[in-house]
Amino acid sequence: MPPTSGTSRSVALVTLGCARNDVDSEELAGRLADAGWTLVDDADGADVAVVNTCGFVEQAKKDSIDTVLAAADLKEAGRTKAVVAVGCMAERYGKDLAESLPEADAILGFDSYGDLSSHLEAILHGEKPQSHVPRDRRTLLPLAPAERQAARPVIAEPDLPEGLAPASGPRVVRRRLGSGPWAPVKIAAGCDRRCTFCAIPAFRGSFVSRPAEEVLAETRWLAEQGVKEVFLVSENTTSYGKDLGDLRALEALLPHVAAVEGIERVRVSYLQPAEVRPGLLDALTSTPGVVPYFDLSFQHSSPAVLRRMRRFGGTEPFLALLEQVRERHPQAGIRSNVIVGFPGETEADVDELCSFLERARLDVVGVFGYSDEDGTEAETLDGKLPDEVVAARVDRVTRLVEELVTQRAEERLGEVVEVLVESVVDEDGDPHVVGRAAHQGPDVDGETELDLPAGFVVHVGDLVTARVTGVAGADLLAEPLVRATV
């Protein structure tokens, strides 16, 4: 229902963290807009600032707290009347976070999303919502995946204004908060894996797939908004369909997403190496419109470390998987993350990781130093390493990765790539054009700058065929050959 004050209220959503959080914020924006709230870009121009927090690692938590505090400062000098924290950190810590962060007017968990408008209106009327009490969300759905679809929570979807959702099919309760040519689409939520270092399943819950018709409806809606590339996201995309009775549901879904009119590229994120199967490799490398992009979560390559993480694989199985990818598509983009300094890790384990990275030839590698996460099994493991040892190992692996990423980019010199234009800025009469090639995921995998010849005009959202002429780390410089799509 609309705000009850008789005047329009404004709200700004400030998002931290991953693409899944981006989707959550846009879904909240859709519900708030439907309830009569005016969406504004900046917190200092809003009655309420809603901070969608990230609770993934320690630095993300610090960034979230700093953002809440910065928004709270606006209450003293500007229009802002209230600051509300939502998202993963709010869900994970709830009441404890509220006690340690009194500057926030409310800490609301995921269960408050369906009625967020009423909560915000109550806050503006001086009420103090009860702080969220965290619980293990894995207990909220049946243990058997096949029983989860019938039990998954469904938030009532209101009748939306004309143009906010498709005229037929599942409603899309979402409002874009940006205007870029790509957008994430969440195809599932939660995770059934029990990695010892990860707290995400406890506050995101068990794995639940979105039905294909919902994913396709949202993709069609995004295409109507001018989106050219959709990025399919979840906590574990390779598990898609396990609760729908079809372990090959992702392979079946991809051609339909790619066939949506207006969508030029489909990208898939977060692939669990242990769950990658030949049919999925085929789908990701041969489906028209699907880019050959592999976001593989290796985390380490030492079998001993992986076992302590409760993960599978090792150097040789991982290299065999990479060989299967490149046999199908030699130009495929492959990225991963690794954790260094895990409890019990030895120098020999680090040597093995470095050897693996040298042989793997990955396009991008994120390097993280291990730190305890509240409530995880790894927090209780023996063999903890001193902070200075973890830092030294992170430095060693990071320096190696920087060298290897540059070498991999140099292998692409002369390669012909399709660049999705994301930014065109006039610099003293000369356009500065930046986008991403197919092997570059949004935000974290580098970018490609186009060196345009005189008279060559491009716009945001164009796909430009170009030849790679230079590199700087993971970033590329390329010269257009022809404009592929306008």
Annotated binding-site residues for [4Fe-4S] cluster read 18, 54, 88, 191, 195, 198
Burial of 437 (0-12, 13-18, 19+ CB in 10 A): buried
Close Cβ partners of 382 (under 8 Å, ≥ 6 residues apart): 343, 344
Question: CA-to-CA distance for 232 and 229, rounded, in angstroms?
Answer: 10
Residue 463 · residue 448 · CB < 8 Å: no
The tokens for 11 are 């709200």
- Residue identified by tokens 């592929």 is 484
Three-state SS annotation for the chain: CCCCCCCCCEEEEEECCCHHHHHHHHHHHHHHHHCCCEECCCHHHCCEEEEEECCCCHHHHHHHHHHHHHHHHHHHHCCCCEEEEEEHHHHHHHHHHHHHCCCCCEECCHHHHHHHHHHHHHHHCCCCCCCCCCCCHHHHCCCCHHHHHHHCCCCCCCCCCCCCCCCCCCCCCCCCCCCCCEEEEECEECCCCCCCCCCHHHHHCCCEECCHHHHHHHHHHHHHCCCCEEEEECCCHHHCCCCCCCCCHHHHHHHHHHCCCCCCEEEECCECHHHCCHHHHHHHHHCCCECCEEEECCECCCHHHHHHCCCCCCHHHHHHHHHHHHHHCCCCEEEEEEEECCCCCCHHHHHHHHHHHHHHCCCEEEEEECCCCCCCHHHHCCCCCCHHHHHHHHHHHHHHHHHHHHHHHHCCCCCEEEEEEEEEEEECCEEEEEEECCCCCCCCCCCEEECCCCCCCCCCCCEEEEEEEEEECCEEEEEEEEEEEC
